[in-house]
């Protein structure tokens, strides 16, 4: 009874499994159940001990010392093997097969022995109250996030691997913030109303994005977000004045939606649903725009990439080489590289590969250099615009961290 999986038991009881329902009813009052089991167990053991004593005395009436020795040794072995080890080991290994058929017997014994069990439990519960233990306020067997994560990992073949990864990704959302997955400001594609109208129209005709931020000169001066389903209305205005096209874009923009960069992903997922938005502008503590975050970005953290394969062979940011090394784009997120290559690059600081290298060097390199980050050898291959564009990563064979002096 005590070896039953409580969560599986509740599930089976909800599905009207009779044995599970009886076992669950017994487990709801563990003090009465344990009292009934121990009462029956001790009655049988004491009765067997008394019977064994009578038999040994009749077999060796002239030698009581031998009778006591033989009775003690033989009775201990018999009870230990046949009444304790064997049945309890079997019950622990096959709890449902033993507990469900035994549940009706235990229910009958609980009813038959109720007066005695009640008397014993009353005394036992009173003693427990003396040490401030209340049997009526047992700690509920609720799972914490980490415990649930362990349950999912140990589910084995009962849960498909892909579903298991999705469940773990959902649990990981509370440990991630918008800053971990946002598209950085330097990669944001938007419409600058100060550009030439022809350039704006060309951008609208060729864009691959559904929503585009609209701003003037600088993205911090954002006007709104334009849905490309309205683009056809502006394309027909190509012969109109430039101001008419710009005014039309502004009129069909939706007001911008700003979010802090420290917002947890599970909170932001709820906020997207609550506000019926799919794209947000991420701002820092000073109100400056740091990037954008979309609903698709969060969903991809759960189900994986929608349009690209996360395997190393197809990853757009990771390129395997014949010598076993990898050329990695400097703008790639460290988390994505870790996931693709099953690596353990540090993620508690910078979010991009370029940021990690610069932080490790403590300065922006002006020429290609090599460095060691943990067990990873890094060779900078290209530097441009004050950031590392590409770097070659390889594992150091036989790496052992230096011990503290």
| Residue (of 269, 251, 245) closest to 259 by Cα position | 269
For the ranges 248-252, 337-341, 396-400, which has the lowest average pLDDT?
Answer: 396-400
For the ranges 118-127, 282-291, 306-315, 320-329, which has the lowest average pLDDT?
Answer: 306-315
Mean pLDDT, to the nearest integer, of 283-290? 90
- pLDDT confidence bin for 29, thresholds 50/70/90: confident
Mode of pairing for the β-strands spanning 211-216 and 218-227: antiparallel
Q: Are 315 and 309 in contact (CB under 8 A)?
A: yes
- φ, ψ of residue 34 to 5 degrees: the values are -65, -40
Which carries the bigger pLDDT value, residue 67 or residue 371? 371
Asked if pLDDT for residue 240 goes beyond 70, the answer is no
**What is the token pair recorded at 202?**
């060309």
- pLDDT confidence bin for 292, thresholds 50/70/90: very high
Mode of pairing for the β-strands spanning 279-283 and 258-260: parallel
Mode of pairing for the β-strands spanning 289-294 and 279-283: antiparallel
What per-residue confidence (pLDDT) applies to 248? 80
- pLDDT confidence bin for 214, thresholds 50/70/90: very high
For residues 171 and 168, what is the distance between their CA atoms, to the nearest angstrom?
Answer: 5
> Taking the domain 176-303, which CATH number applies?
3.10.580.10
Asked if pLDDT for residue 194 goes beyond 70, the answer is yes
Torsion of CA 222, 223, 228, 231, to 10 degrees: -130
Asked if pLDDT for residue 282 goes beyond 90, the answer is yes
Asked if pLDDT for residue 310 goes beyond 50, the answer is no
Tens digits of residue pLDDT in 96-105: 888 888 888 8
Non-local (6+) Cβ contacts of 191 within 8 A are 200, 203, 204, 212, 213, 214, 215, 226, 249
> Taking the domain 318-395, which CATH number applies?
3.30.465.10
What per-residue confidence (pLDDT) applies to 308? 45
Mean pLDDT, to the nearest integer, of 254-263? 93
What per-residue confidence (pLDDT) applies to 213? 93
Asked if pLDDT for residue 309 goes beyond 50, the answer is no
What per-residue confidence (pLDDT) applies to 215? 92
DSSP 372: E
What per-residue confidence (pLDDT) applies to 137? 63
Asked if pLDDT for residue 275 goes beyond 60, the answer is yes
What per-residue confidence (pLDDT) applies to 315? 54
Domains of the chain, residue spans: 6-130, 176-303, 318-395
| Residue (of 224, 292, 288) closest to 256 by Cα position | 224
What per-residue confidence (pLDDT) applies to 401? 53
Tens digits of residue pLDDT in 131-170: 877 766 655 667 777 778 887 887 777 788 888 888 888 8
What per-residue confidence (pLDDT) applies to 314? 46
The position carrying tokens 């090599």 is 370
Q: How many CB atoms lie within 10 A of CB 380?
A: 20
- pLDDT confidence bin for 278, thresholds 50/70/90: very high
Asked if pLDDT for residue 368 goes beyond 50, the answer is yes
Q: Residue 250 pairs with which residues in a beta bridge? A: none
Helices and strands of the chain, counted as H and E runs: 17, 12
Q: What is the mean pLDDT of the chain?
A: 83
Q: Give Dmax over CA atoms of the chain in angstroms.
A: 126
Tens digits of residue pLDDT in 179-193: 888 888 888 899 998
Tens digits of residue pLDDT in 64-112: 788 788 888 888 888 888 888 888 888 888 888 888 888 888 888 888 8
């Amino acid at each position: 009874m005590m070896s039953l999986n409580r969560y599986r038991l509740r599930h089976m009881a909800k599905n009207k499994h009779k044995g599970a329902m009886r076992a669950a009813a017994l487990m709801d009052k563990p003090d009465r159940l344990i009292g009934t089991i121990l009462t029956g167990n001790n009655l049988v053991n004491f009765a067997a001990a008394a019977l064994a004593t009578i038999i040994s005395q009749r077999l060796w009436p002239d030698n009581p010392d031998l009778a006591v020795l033989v009775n003690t040794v033989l009775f201990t072995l018999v009870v230990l093997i046949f009444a304790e080890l064997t049945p309890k080991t079997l019950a622990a290994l096959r709890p449902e097969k033993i507990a469900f058929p035994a549940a009706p017997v235990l229910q009958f014994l609980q009813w038959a022995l109720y007066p005695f069990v009640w008397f014993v439990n009353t005394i036992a519960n009173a003693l427990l109250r003396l040490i401030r233990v209340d049997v009526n306020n047992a700690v509920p067997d609720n799972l914490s996030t980490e415990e649930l994560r362990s349950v999912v990992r140990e589910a084995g073949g009962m849960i498909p691997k892909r579903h298991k990864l999705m469940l773990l990704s959902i649990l990981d959302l509370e440990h991630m913030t918008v800053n971990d997955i946002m598209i950085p400001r330097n990669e944001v594609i938007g419409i600058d109303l100060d550009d030439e109208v022809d350039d704006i129209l060309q951008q609208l005709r060729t864009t691959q994005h559904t929503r585009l931020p609209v701003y003037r000169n600088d993205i911090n001066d954002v006007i709104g977000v334009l849905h490309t389903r309205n683009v056809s209305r502006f394309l027909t205005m190509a012969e109109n004045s430039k101001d008419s096209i710009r005014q039309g874009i502004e009129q069909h923009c939706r007001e911008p939606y700003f979010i802090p960069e420290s917002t947890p992903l599970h909170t932001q997922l709820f906020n997207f649903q609550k506000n019926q938005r799919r794209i947000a502008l991420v701002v820092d503590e000073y109100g400056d725009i740091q990037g954008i975050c979309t609903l698709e970005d969060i969903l991809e953290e759960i189900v994986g990439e929608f349009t690209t394969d996360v395997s190393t062979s197809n990853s757009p940011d990771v390129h395997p080489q014949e010598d076993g090394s990898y050329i990695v784009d400097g703008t790639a997120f460290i988390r994505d590289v870790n996931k693709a290559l099953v690596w353990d690059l540090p993620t508690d600081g910078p979010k991009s590969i370029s940021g990690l290298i610069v932080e490790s060097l403590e300065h922006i390199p002006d020429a290609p250099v090599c460095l060691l980050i943990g067990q990873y050898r890094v060779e900078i291959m290209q530097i441009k615009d004050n950031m590392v564009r590409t770097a070659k990563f390889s594992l150091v064979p036989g790496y052992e961290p230096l011990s503290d002096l």
